[in-house]
Homo-oligomer: A and B are copies of this chain.
Amino acid sequence: MNDIVEARTLKGFRDVLPGEGLLKERLIEQVKRVFLSFGYAPIETPHLEYTDVLIRETSGDIGKQLYRFNDQGGRDVCLRFDLTVPFARFVVQHRQEVGIPFKRYAIGNVFRGEQPQFGRFREFMQCDFDFVGVESLTADAEIIEMIAAIMETIGISKFVIRMNSRRLMNGLAEALNVPEKAGDILRILDKLDKIGEEQVRAALASELALPQQTVDELLSFVAITSRSSGEEVFRSASQYKERNELMRRGLDELEKTAAILKGAGLPEDKFKVDFSVARGLGYYTGIVYETYLTDLPEIGSVCSGGRYDNLTMNFSKEKLPGVGASVGLDRLIAALQKLELMKLENTPAEVLLTLMSEQDAPQIHLLAQQLRKLGVKVEVYPEPSKLKKQFQYADRKGQAFVAIAGGEELSKGALTVKDMRGGSQETYSSVAEAAERIRKRG
């Protein structure tokens, strides 16, 4: 006899059970539909890559989190930790085959050996879409339109996309004679919503040793977008265009992008310029954006992205600019449940078809096939059992309906359908009528 091994997952890893699996697949399917409708095609890269492809030996933090080892052939390999670096490698390797400009999406798991925290795992899914090889702001606008289309498709109507410009903020830091502190300034301004103005002022003064006047100027600039919106922002900020070329260009780009979004029919309450938006990643250089749900701001941005100057600098001397964003699937799944837009269900089936005796099996399976052809998702009870047991099974799985076809009903092609929630029960003389009842659910 074999020894018994304890059934367990690795620390920081987890299984996805049917309830979450069903939600996740539905969400992914809806997001993909948007990607495809904008002409973005799916690509895949391996989970495993050469270590020197994924990181520089000088890479700091991420290096410690890597799942890195030598494979059977002695190669130094790593599990991918994001989908961006593999994408950069992909574009350089397949530049001729895919053609530039190039639009793609990728959905896949990545691995980071971080200390596991509540709700954070060492293997998790990323969902990225990018448009590379374009300088035009129409691409920036397109990515934002896609975020709005994703929200609409998944049924979230109350959201706002907050946009800013890295170029503009670098220009501001330059105008204030602290260009080298641009990144840190943005990191602190980004906390405005969370910690409030006083604390931000304190942090700018103490952490960055900025003089009082510089702090004042920073806060007064950010105040423009907290007190105004729409075109008024650009009127209020227009004086800053004269400060330097970066500020002029940054403001121009925001204004043009906003004009395309407005023209493309995106309602004005759905996008907002916000000079406190930082967006984490270092490689953004142009317009950046985050998406917040009006009813659940505390879960953070559910979709973020921006423009970068050069995606492929590790792999090629040719510059490749582009725009891209990431959908936070896990946050969206949590949000859709909290907002009661999606319900956790343990089975995809809408109806359990009972099986009363072994000799009924062929006819019951035929009935099930007929229902499926009519668009109903049907589970057949796997063996002849007492009706009570079959109902208990349906209850446990959360089936919406149980359909019963006993001896006499079967011979007449009739079907009794019981609504497991409402409790009502009716006998239909044809499969088509029964199917209609089930599809009209609730």
Which residues of A approach B to under 8 Å, CB–CB? 2, 4-11, 13-18, 21-22, 24-25, 29, 32, 35-50, 52-53, 56, 64, 67, 69-73, 75, 77, 79, 89-90, 92-94, 97-99, 101, 103-104, 109, 111, 113, 123, 131, 134-139, 141-142, 145, 149, 259-260, 262-265, 313-317, 346-349, 352, 355, 361-363, 365-366, 368-369, 372, 376-380, 382-384, 393, 396-397
Q: Closest approach, in angstroms, between the C-beta of A397 and any C-beta of chain B?
A: 7
Lowest 9 A-B CB distances belong to which pairs?
A263-B362, A39-B379, A39-B349, A69-B69, A18-B41, A264-B365, A136-B383, A16-B44, A21-B42
Cβ contacts under 8 Å, A317 to chain B: 4
When chains A and B are docked, how far (Å) is the Cα of A88 from the Cα of B32?
A: 31
When chains A and B are docked, how far (Å) is the Cα of A42 from the Cα of B41?
A: 24
Given A15-B46, A36-B377, A72-B113, 4 extra CB contacts under 8 A: A38-B349, A38-B378, A41-B348, A142-B380
User: A36-B377, A145-B369 are contacts. A48–B123 as well, Cβ < 8 Å?
Assistant: yes
User: A99-B397, A382-B131, A396-B99 are contacts. A92–B7 as well, Cβ < 8 Å?
Assistant: yes
Q: Is there contact, CB below 8 Å, between B89 and A46?
A: no
Q: Is there contact, CB below 8 Å, between A260 and B361?
A: yes
Q: Is there contact, CB below 8 Å, between A377 and B39?
A: yes
**Can you list 14 A-B contacts with CB-CB less than 8 angstroms, sorted by A residue number?**
A5-B315, A7-B90, A10-B71, A16-B45, A17-B97, A22-B41, A37-B348, A38-B378, A38-B379, A41-B347, A141-B361, A145-B369, A264-B368, A265-B366
